[in-house]
Amino acid sequence: MTLLADVQAVHEDADLLVLQKPAGLLCVPGRGPDKQDCLSARAQQQWPGALIVHRLDQATSGLVLMARHIDAQRRLSHAFAERQVHKRYQAVVWGLLAAQEGAWNEINLPIAADWERRPLRVIDPAHGKPSLTRWRLLGHHPANGTSRIELEPVTGRTHQLRVHMAAVGHPILGDALYAPAEVQTLAPRLLLHASHLAFAHPSNGESVALEWAADF
């Protein structure tokens, strides 16, 4: 049996793990023998019994929270469902965003499944679910016509950040699903990274806040 690669933890205790997921790695196994290497399988080799609480897209890097036992998984899953877990992402997007640096803005566009092109999502005012993203400008890169931004998903729809940024005309660089070809080729990977995770510890209620800076 081939041993899977180790994953790094930025936080580890008896109840939970916060792991660094690299871009290109699935969070859970997919269909087929070539899709069994994933973050949860690697974590379970190092921390037997580790349980998934939430996921990131395969193309996205960043912090992922896992539980060490079923009670912690239940409590943390409830916190996600009640929007008590705060996540922030960093991204590089196409275009020079016309916004005041550091000021928060909102994208409030309903998202629905694109049934004919699954797993893609679309903006659908008639049938989409309410979807809210907060974002702020961190800086411009005039030389290549891009902007660095921080994103905060208030809701948690599939592909929400990617869909919302593409919908307002600023797709994320390297996005193979929602960016036009010329924007896809500007980066070797999707430039989206889950950089911040904050929540109440499921055992004692103490605040936990963790960071992992993007490497792009």
What confidence score (pLDDT) does residue 1 get? 39
Question: Percent helix, strand, coil in the chain (nearest 5)?
Answer: 20, 35, 45
What confidence score (pLDDT) does residue 34 get? 80
What confidence score (pLDDT) does residue 35 get? 84
What confidence score (pLDDT) does residue 4 get? 76
Same domain for 74 and 101, yes or no, is no
For residue 162, tell me if it sits in a domain. Answer: yes
Instruction: Give the tens place of pLDDT for each residue, 37-69.
Output: 999 999 999 999 999 999 999 999 999 999 999
CATH number (domain holding residue 37): 3.30.2350.10
- List active site positions: 57
Give me the number of domains the chain comprises. Answer: 2
Query: Six-digit token pair at 184?
Result: 């896809």
Q: CA dist 6 to 9, 19, 158, 166, 212, Å?
A: 10, 11, 27, 34, 17
Same domain for 78 and 102, yes or no, is no
Report residue 194: phi and psi, to 5°. Answer: -80, 100
Closest by CA position to 90, among listed 194, 200, 210: 194
Task: Name the pTM for this structure.
Answer: 0.95
Q: Kindly report whether the peptide bond that precedes residue 119 is cis, defined as omega within 30 degrees of 0.
A: yes
What confidence score (pLDDT) does residue 31 get? 85
Residue 113's CB is within 10 A of a number of other CB atoms, namely 18
Q: Please say whether the dihedral angle defined by the alpha carbons of residues 119, 125, 130 and 132, taken in this order, is positive or negative.
A: positive
The answer to whether 18 and 11 are in contact (CB under 8 A) is yes
What confidence score (pLDDT) does residue 3 get? 55
Name residues of the chain where pLDDT drops below 50.
Answer: 1-2
For residue 213, tell me if it sits in a domain. Answer: no
Residues of the domain holding 15: 8-85
Answer with the one of 66, 85, 104 that is the final residue of a domain: 85
Same domain for 92 and 81, yes or no, is no
